[in-house]
């Protein structure tokens, strides 16, 4: 689709929403650094993976507009993420019980 000089393309989300998502990403970045610097426990890696998952979800849903896609694409992405979580979980269980 091409736009004429008189046509304009509206944003799906407002700039205010983008600003709040960016601020949340910056706070989660600070949380990631804090968890990495302060050795919480042996679960600090899992906590950092959880924070990274939340950050990736925010980027996917708002900046990549997955929030406005159809249910099939969301379902496929969900299944891929579940399989990734299973593989990472199995890897962690193998390392922890050696």
pLDDT tens for each residue of 33-91: 998 888 777 778 888 888 998 999 899 888 888 888 888 988 898 899 899 889 988 98
Token pair listed for 55: 């950050």
pLDDT at 94 over 50: yes
The answer to whether residue 40 sits within a structural domain is yes
The answer to whether residue 3 sits within a structural domain is no
The answer to whether residue 7 sits within a structural domain is no
Domains held by the chain: number: 1
The answer to whether residue 9 sits within a structural domain is no
What's the pLDDT score for residue 74? 85
The answer to whether residue 20 sits within a structural domain is yes
| Diameter of the chain measured on Cα atoms | 66
What's the pLDDT score for residue 13? 77
Residue-range definition of the domain harbouring residue 70 = 15-96
**pTM summary value:** 0.70
pLDDT at 12 over 50: yes
The gap from C-alpha 63 to its chain's centroid, in whole angstroms, comes to 10
């Amino acid at each position: 689709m091409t736009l004429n000089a008189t046509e304009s393309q509206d944003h799906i989300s407002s700039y205010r929403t983008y600003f709040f998502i960016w601020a949340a990403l910056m706070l989660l970045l600070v949380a990631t650094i804090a968890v990495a610097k302060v050795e919480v426990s042996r679960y600090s890696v899992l906590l950092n993976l959880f924070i990274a998952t939340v950050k990736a979800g925010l980027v996917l849903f708002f900046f990549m507009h997955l929030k406005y896609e159809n249910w099939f694409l969301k379902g496929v992405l969900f299944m891929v993420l579940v399989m990734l979580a299973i593989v990472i979980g199995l890897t962690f269980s193998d390392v922890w019980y050696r």
